[in-house]
Amino acid sequence: MNSQAGAQNERDVVVVGAGFSGLYMLHRLRQLGFAVELLEAADGVGGTWYWNRYPGARCDIESLQYSYSFMRELDPEWEWSERYATQPEILRYLNRVADHLSLRPFIRLSTRVASATFDEAHGIWQIETGQGERLNARYLVLATGCLSLPRRPEVKGYERFKGRILQTSQWPHEEIAFNGERVGVIGTGSSGIQSIPIIARQASELFVFQRTPCFSVPAQNGPIDPSYRAWFKGNARELRDRARQSPAGVVTREAAEAAGALAFSPEERARRYEAAWTKGGLDFMNTFADLFVNPEANDTAIDFLHDKIRATVQNAQLAERLLPRGYPAFAKRLCVDTGYHETFNRSHVTLVDIAQHPIRELTETGLRTDDAHYELDSIVFATGFDAMTGALCAIDIRGRSGLRLKEKWVAGPRTYLGLSVAGFPNLFLITGPGSPSVISNMVVSIEQHVEWIADCLDSLRRRSFPSIEANESAEAAWVDHVRDVAATTLFPRAPSWYVGANIPGKPRVFMAYVGGVGAYRQKCDEVARAGYAGFTLTGPD
Binding residues for ligand NA7, rule: CB under 6 A, are 147, 153, 168, 186-192, 211-212, 333, 354, 382-384, 497, 502
Q: One-letter amino acid identity for 118?
A: F
Q: Given the DSSP bridges, would you call strands 36-39 and 10-16 parallel, antiparallel or unpaired?
A: parallel
Q: Compare residues 287 and 496 and give the one whose CB is closer to ligand NA7.
A: 496
CB neighbour list of residue 168: distance below 8 Å, 6 or more residues apart: 52, 54, 57, 187, 191, 192, 195, 380, 381, 382
What is the closest distance, in whole angstroms, from the C-beta atom of residue 388 to ligand NA7 in the complex? 11
- Please name every residue paired with 535 in a beta bridge, in sequence order, or none if there are none: 470
- The answer for residues whose C-beta is within 8 angstroms of residue 14's C-beta and 6 or more apart is 36, 37, 38, 39, 125, 127, 135, 137, 139, 140, 141
Burial track 338-364 (b if 16+ CB lie within 10 A, e otherwise): bbbbbbbeeeebebbbbeeeebbbbbe
Name the residue nearer to ligand NA7 (CB basis): 46 or 189.
189
Spatial separation of the C-alpha atoms in residues 289 and 490, rounded to whole Å: 13
Q: Is the dihedral of CA 323, 325, 329, 330 positive or negative?
A: negative
CB of 246 to ligand NA7, least distance (A): 18
How far, in Å, CA of 273 to CA of 264, rounded? 11
d(CA 124, CA 117): 8
Q: Which helix (H) or strand (E) holds 73?
A: helix 71-74
Q: How many CA atoms lie within 13 A of 26 on its CB side?
A: 28
Which residues pair with residue 141 across a beta bridge? 15, 428
Q: Do residues 416 and 478 touch, judged by C-beta distance below 8 A?
A: yes
Q: Pick from 283, 319, 318: which is nearest to 301 by CA?
A: 283
Q: Which residue is at the shortest CB distance from ligand NA7?
A: 189
Beta bridge partners of 13: 36, 139
The span from the first CA to the last CA of the chain, in angstroms, equals 14
- Of 184 and 534, nearer to ligand NA7 (C-beta) is 184
C-alpha to C-alpha distance for 249 and 242, rounded to whole angstroms: 8
**Angle of helix 87-100 relative to helix 20-31, nearest 10 degrees?**
10
Nearer to ligand NA7, 6 or 197 (CB): 197
Q: How far is the CB of 161 from ligand NA7 (least distance, A)?
A: 16
Q: What is the distance, to the nearest Å, from the Cα of residue 269 to the centroid of all Cα atoms in its chain? A: 31
Nearer to ligand NA7, 168 or 294 (CB): 168
Instruction: Classify the phi-psi angles of 326: left when phi > 0, otherwise alpha if psi is within -120 to 50, otherwise beta.
Output: left
CB of 186 to ligand NA7, least distance (A): 5
CB 357 within 8 A of CB 325: no
